Amino acid sequence: MRVLVVKTSSMGDVIHSFPAVEDARRSRPDVSFDWCVEEAFAGIVALHPAIATIHSVAIRRWRTSPLVPGTWRQAAGLRRALRDRRYDLVIDAQGLLKSAVVAKQAAAPIAGFDRSSAREPSATLFYDRRYAV
């Protein structure tokens, strides 16, 4: 089974998500975990031994240059890379609209927070499975 964790930022939030991967890995050693993270924090995620592949995104930079052709090429490249991995499940550990949109690019079932737990309730519209936290 291949799982993508989407937690793009911030540094503290990314680090605080590591124990969830550890717990899941202990419970399901057959699962391969990948992570989608803002490019500034990719080095931190690379330190985690259970993460097989890191997909870095540049959402912060893309927001400042949405009409630049390079932005669209990079976003399309991310979409291709996520779909090529053929994930069995995507976990949106952020609960934001931006992370839900990134998660959707993987074309796999998405698990995330329920409406009352998500930081941005509109993000839950993208989820196939919702959990109260």
Residue 115's domain comprises: 2-131
Q: Which residue has the higher pLDDT, 70 or 104?
A: 104
pLDDT in tens, 33-70: 999 999 999 999 999 999 999 999 998 777 777 778 88
pTM for this one?
Answer: 0.93
pLDDT band at 124 (very low <50, low <70, confident <90, very high): very high
pLDDT at 91: 98
Mean pLDDT, rounded, of the chain: 95
pLDDT band at 23 (very low <50, low <70, confident <90, very high): very high
CA atoms 118, 121, 125, 131: torsion sign: positive
Residue 6 belongs to a domain with what CATH number? 3.40.50.2000
Residues forming a β-bridge with 130: 112
Quickly count: other Cβ atoms within 10 Å of residue 20's Cβ: 14
Place of tokens 């490019």: 39
- Could you give phi then psi for residue 89, rounded to 5 degrees? -155, 145
Q: What's the domain count of the chain?
A: 1
pLDDT band at 117 (very low <50, low <70, confident <90, very high): very high
pLDDT at 84: 98
